[in-house]
Structure 1
């Protein structure tokens, strides 16, 4: 690109030199011819003057005047041809100075198709890239601050409860055995919630920064989902929910990381249990094709507003903003799910209406981890 721009600039300057030389020659020929004709005419009429005599004799002074006049014509012509480029370079120079002063919204109109227009386009791209980089840095700073705030709140709430109940148990006041057992159960449930919060935070950090290596193998996704639903049976019972697994095939082997997919669907099933208690039922459907497998997890509880659907996979976002013990969490479950789906080269989407809230995951049957990693890096 650099050599092309340099060659284009040289060619343009050379072209302007040739044009200027041609115009200078034409004007000089016209001038010399006409002055000579006028001088001869005056000589024939007997009205010869000193200047006419010098012109006819091609005196040195006249030749010098011709040369100086030719240089003047050449310079003016060349400057007129270069003037648009000079003005354009001035605008580019002003834009560079403006950008250097922090005005990253500065842009130069790209006109023509030469080295200057390419320079202006590159300058605009550079300013755009800098703006994008700064926006990412601001977003990273905002996310970091949000992470600290959320972590502090989410960890402090169960920890405060645990400390409070343990202080009651460790104090001098005698606690009835029934109340003691209840306090221990509460402290235990809070500790498990604290463990889940910490797992989510560490898990998301590792996924987000690519610190988890994928171990792709062959697994039966129908069997995996069946096992996950069976393991979640106590949670279904606790929320007074039933579940139904439907599949168009009895078994379907795909290439994937079994542990990551288990975490993905465990998050979606857990989310359906948490927010679908009012619907009394959770439906998991598998639709297998030759190259893809589509898994949908549907709950019939709270309908998510349409304007909130695009935000569900954002870090720390929760539809229910209250931090209750029943539905509170880090707001990272769906963000983790999306990271895992992206790592597998699949897609995840959500819809919500009176017919239910449906999370749909589409995965490739044959997954090449090396190809996906290469694609994500390029």
Structure 2
């Protein structure tokens, strides 16, 4: 960092004033010491004796004079004082420049950083200030994202709730106004209202589950779980749906039994959502296969089907809440767009990973989980 012309002039002026004051002070000190020595014969005799005893070389040269020693001592002190005052003033100017930069940032120029490269404590101050500004900007960006995320959440939930609610009110309104021909119409209207109400309940349940697992410090009930038993129960619960659709659903776990530390309720929700997702969106699928195997200290579970592949551009967005690869899917399947977001949140709670791969042959969701959970609540 370079000092301004005014600061350099001030530094030179202070150095000159300091030298002048020190010269006057030295002259006063020398005068006082000279008067003390001359007015005290004993001191004068002692100095003379010391001077006579300090001789060097064959010529017995005298190298000691109290005036000379005193002047040298005072000069050394003067040099140190001048250096100290100039250095102190220089560091003061550096801090003033740093404070000026900080004021500039505080005025709203949050993209600005202190550019100086110094040595010593000043550089630590600069590094700390820049780091603090970076942290503040990051926090502000995170807060904006959270606020935007909340707004999007409210908007999406409102939209998804309003659609079935409008249908419920409409059909019940027809019954209320007696705009039906016969009992068959009444049953038809109530059935539609009932299905729409179930759709709303599914959305509310998914939303509740999503917000619960998204909360910081969400409770996780960790215990040993037999993964083979969990997946067999899951396939059994979907067996009727699979038979109705003409899909073969199966599970295979190696080794058997395969024990894993996890929250059984949440882990069951993960694979339930993945299988339900395969039923909803795997159009034309002939099978849904759930396989699990152990790789060292991890477990890899794969939920695969041979239905309609997921577009490549959509795969990176599947785990975002309310995202749907096709805009029409919500109406066609009753999906909330939260199922895969819940899957990712629960897998994250278990320190695992979930990925997707899809091509013309097969679509697979792969969940990787650690065998043991260490201090998961922390």
Q: TM-score category by the smaller chain?
A: 0.7 to 0.9
* 1:202/1:91 CA distance change after superposition, 3 Å: same
* 1:234/1:182 CA distance change after superposition, 3 Å: farther
Q: Verify the 8 A CA contact 1:274 1:326 in the aligned structure 2.
A: no
* 1:110/1:149 CA distance change after superposition, 3 Å: same
Q: Verify the 8 A CA contact 1:284 1:296 in the aligned structure 2.
A: yes
Give yes or no for the alignment of 1:188 onto 2:194: yes
Q: Verify the 8 A CA contact 2:219 2:377 in the aligned structure 1.
A: no
Q: Which residue of 2 aligns with 1:46?
A: none
List gaps (5 residues or longer) in structure 2.
1-14, 27-66
Map Cα deviations across residues 58-94 of structure 1 (whole Å, 9 max, x no partner). Answer: 9xxxx9xxx99x96x7777556656764554344223
Q: Verify the 8 A CA contact 2:356 2:365 in the aligned structure 1.
A: yes
**Which has the larger Rg?**
2
Of 213-222 and 240-249, the range deviating more from structure 2 = 240-249
Alignment size in residue pairs: 312
Counterpart CA distance in 1 for 2:102 and 2:317 is: 38
Q: Secondary structure at the match of 2:115?
A: coil
Counterpart CA distance in 2 for 1:210 and 1:238 is: 41
Q: Secondary structure at the match of 2:333?
A: coil
Counterpart CA distance in 2 for 1:163 and 1:300 is: 39
1:1-378 superposed matches below 5 A: 77=83, 81=87, 85-86=91-92, 88-109=94-115, 111-210=117-216, 212-289=218-295, 291-322=297-328, 324-368=330-374, 371-374=375-378
Q: Verify the 8 A CA contact 1:218 1:254 in the aligned structure 2.
A: yes
* 1:238/1:325 CA distance change after superposition, 3 Å: farther
Q: TM-score, normalised by structure 1?
A: 0.73
Q: Verify the 8 A CA contact 2:289 2:305 in the aligned structure 1.
A: yes
Q: Verify the 8 A CA contact 1:216 1:257 in the aligned structure 2.
A: yes
Q: Verify the 8 A CA contact 2:199 2:334 in the aligned structure 1.
A: no
Q: Verify the 8 A CA contact 2:222 2:261 in the aligned structure 1.
A: yes
List gaps (5 residues or longer) in structure 1.
1-16, 29-57
* 1:84/1:233 CA distance change after superposition, 3 Å: farther
* 1:94/1:241 CA distance change after superposition, 3 Å: farther
Q: How much does 1:113 deviate?
A: 4.5
Counterpart CA distance in 2 for 1:356 and 1:268 is: 14
Q: Which runs of 4+ in 1 moved over 6 A?
A: 73-76
Q: How much does 1:359 deviate?
A: 1.2
